[in-house]
Structure 1
Amino acid sequence: MKPLSPALILALGLTTIASYAQLTPLEKKIAANVDKHNTEAMALWKEVVNINSGTMNFEGVRKVANVFQAKLDALGLTTRWIDGAPFQRAGHLVAEHKGKAGKKTILLIGHLDTVFEPSSPFQEFKQLNDTTVSGPGVADMKGGDVIIIQALQALKDAGVLKDLNIIVYLCGDEENSGEPLALARRDLIEAARTADIALGFEDGDGRFETATIARRSSTDWQLTVKGVPAHSSQIFTDKIGAGAIYEASRIVYTFYETLSKEPNLTFNPGMILGGTDVKHTADQNLGTAFGKSNVVAQDATVTGDIRAMSPEQLKKAQETMQAIVAKHLPQTQATLVFGEGYPPLAPTPGNYTLLETFNKVSLDLNLGPVRAVNPRDAGAADISFTSGYVDMAMDGIKVRSAGGHTIHETADPRTLPLQTKRAAVLLHRIGK
């Protein structure tokens, strides 16, 4: 990679180690180590991105895990592989480091899989220029995984890793969760019960200047509606009523009319099927519908998701939606079922305190301030499963990126060592 120009250095706020006036000598040593090993970090980043690990490519997910497992073993962590067969996925990689008794336990969360299966045309890591690399999962989230490894390496080389209590949890099915979800996330929740602080290295809004202290929930729902089939000339009569499609339309529109102004609450109907004969294949998110314009619809199915900022907001919205469903149009019946989902990560006082600490680290490194991501600009992530178990949690310790989940996914390689320095110094400070 070419050296950065003075203009780029100024734009990103890079400075020499000597100018880190607010860092202790040990912290300066940690930061210097990151720069020393950045070529290795770039090589590791390229290596793992070039291994396809689409969620359903179990062999590929395991290969990526093997690469990181070797790195974590070399750092002195005790690693183990959790087989994903019980929840129909590849599995998860977990590593633990026991430091001094009485120190806080810090849980570091990443994931091994991407949305790009072997059938995708997007398969290769490419350096486009000094400021841009592209590749499947280059940001979401193999860049974050590399930050974890390199931050721990810097701490070990500085002689401070030995004192830290660390759990690294690299999930193998973040992009397409295994089922049942309770089993697929059981070990992550157990790790959260053990930990005091959780740090996630998943993308938030793609910006280097932000971190995530709140994520909304993500829960699927399915609306199933029944009507009375008949010749269309008989619709609206007392015997035939409104039909399934009218009832489905009423319900979905009333959801919108009643709840769309609620702050940070969204509910999206992603698919609707309706007609005389409806077949829905839920596990593949597809279906077929047959109907005629002169026949009153007998069935309708709508599927979607709901995202909320807190458990209380989610519960209230679900109750409101169920009440709307219960007010049936004539001669129709409907049921609304909510599935398993990702819980919300509420913006607790502890999370704000952690962000303030991270912001101070960034300022001391002369890398500029860090502000909280707007929860509407970030999706669900595994760190939400730590909610209620840890004292403080923060996500979004990642490379600058754009185009996530598309074949245009890119990242800024200049931010890899910068974010690694932030992470390493943060771990050193909160680990004390």
Structure 2
Amino acid sequence: MNFQDLPFDSAAILAGLKPWVLCESPTYDPSAVNRMMDLAAYELAALGAEIERIPGRMGFGGSLRARLPHKDRGKPGILLSGHLDTVHPVGTLATLPFRVEGNKAYGPGIQDMKGGNYVCLEALRQIVKAGWETPLPVTVLFTPDEEVGTPSTRDLIEMEARRNKYVLVPEPAKPDGGCVTGRYAIARFNLRSVGRPSHAGWALKDGRSAIALMAKKLLEVEAMTTEDCTFSVGVIHAGQWVNCVSSECVGEALSMAKRQADLDKGVEAMLALSDDSGDVVFEVTRGVTRPVWEPDAGTMALYEITRTIAGEIGFDLPHGSAGGGSDGNFTGALGIPTIDSIGVRGAGLHTLNEHIEIDSLAERAKLAAGLFLRLT
């Protein structure tokens, strides 16, 4: 069973990936995410997988768990863990249409991370068509909320990971084409300022603006950034009538650190910004957190296998820790051998320039097939 003998073709893979990209699936639109789960469920059912649809909660879409046929099904094996939600709202295709330009294919979510998920299913498809059985049973778990920190499915991912020997996370490859063997810690925070409403025309002095305080605090938050721990505010919502002094403003902040101790200090500093002593109240509450994932011997052994397979295909596979959390934070932090960012090459994720390099489709499908066939 030599994975190099499997007939991977980038053009054919792109044709299969296109319907996934055309199915827009932003995190906050559970119906859209569920439609994307339908497409993936069909692909996996065609492989003979046992399909389980897991209802969503907390206002998010549902998850999809599929177990491939195997004589040892139920025993520890390989977990393919990916998300099918994207940051792009429905309608993004109007400004970021699916299109091909030379070796690049564009579209919302094509890099993060529909491309990586799809090439792994293509690897399984070619293995099944060849009549081969992987040494270990394979489970696929697709979730709906990674782009907002995985608040509704972390337990599901962690429990499934504990049932397996290895976790593969096909997030986009790093800019140098490398993979990820560790990730920084990330914490999210909910911000809220509460002021006093008044008419902005004839009673301006009677009001206390929640927006004004949030703007002041935003600058304070971002000024806390150091080399060890970063802070940013990415979401602000307030106001409805311009002739009213705003009574409430809400926001969301994010902090990232390479070491858990630095993140813990950052969390303490953020929570200390809460203040109810003045006319306008400012509240900081903690949101979801991704733990630091530091590579251990198991992950590094998995990396060496992955690097060897990449070399046989004909490309280098550097590795390292990375910012930008993923669900690999959870499985790696549990001590389960995890290899992350083995998905497609490309650039522009989370922007209107998101694209993949088409020739990486066959390359990364071969890499996934090598892992499915070589891990024992």
TM-score (norm. length: structure 2)? 0.81
Q: Distance in 1 between matches of 2:116 and 2:173?
A: 11
1:219-368 superposed matches below 5 A: 219-222=188-191, 224=193, 259-263=224-228, 265-270=229-234, 285-287=237-239, 303-323=252-272, 334-339=282-287, 341-349=288-296, 350-368=298-316
Equivalent in 348, 356, 359 of residue 403 of structure 1: 348
AA matched with 2:185: R
Classify 1:321/1:209 alpha carbon distance in 2 versus 1 (closer, same or farther; 3 Å): closer
Asked whether the equivalents of residues 309 and 367 of structure 2 are also in contact (C-alpha less than 8 Å), the reply is yes
Letter in 1 for 2:114: K
Matched length: 365
Structure 2 equivalent of residue 94 of structure 1: 65
Distance 2:344 2:46 in 1: 24
Q: Distance in 2 between matches of 1:191 and 1:260?
A: 36
Task: Check conservation: 2:169, 2:342, Cα contact below 8 A.
Answer: yes
Equivalent position amino acid for 2:230 in 1 = T
Q: Deviations over 1:89-144 (max 9, x none)?
A: 22111111354379642211122222333332246422212x11112222112111
Which secondary structure does the structure 1 equivalent of 2:233 belong to?
strand
1:189 aligns with 2:189: no
What is the match of residue 138 of structure 1? 110
Query: Paired residue for 1:415?
Result: 360
Q: Would you say the 8 A contact 1:204–1:212 is kept in 2?
A: no
Which letter maps to 1:167? Answer: T
Residue pair 2:161, 2:336 contacting (<8 A) in 1 also: no
What is the CA distance between 1:186 and its match in structure 2?
3.2
* Identical columns (%): 25
Distance 1:298 1:426, change over 3 A: closer
Residue 32 (structure 1) aligned with residue 5 (structure 2): yes
Counterpart residue identity of residue 125, structure 1: F
1:71 is aligned to: 43
Distance 1:126 1:255, change over 3 A: closer
What SS does structure 2 have at the residue aligned with 1:175?
A: helix
Looking at CA atoms only, which structure, 1 or 2, has the larger radius of gyration? Answer: 1
Question: Could you list the per-position Cα deviations for residues 332-382 of structure 1 after superposition, in whole angstroms to 9, with x for gaps in the alignment?
Answer: 86542112x141341221333332322222122221232225x24xx2222
Q: TM-score, with normalisation over the residues of structure 1?
A: 0.71
Over the aligned positions, Cα root-mean-square deviation in angstroms equals 3.7
Q: Say whether residues 1:369 and 2:317 are aligned partners.
A: yes
Superposed displacement of residue 392, structure 1: 1.6
Go from structure 1 to structure 2 and tell me whether the alpha carbon gap of 1:33 and 1:288 turns closer, same or farther (over 3 Å shift).
same
Structure 1 residues 70 and 312 mapped into 2: Cα distance closer, same or farther (>3 Å)? same
Q: Which residue of 2 aligns with 1:17?
A: none
> C-alpha separation between the residues in 2 aligned to 1:74 and 1:385?
30
Corresponding residue to 1:172 among 144, 147, 172: 144
The offset of 1:189, in angstroms, is 2.5
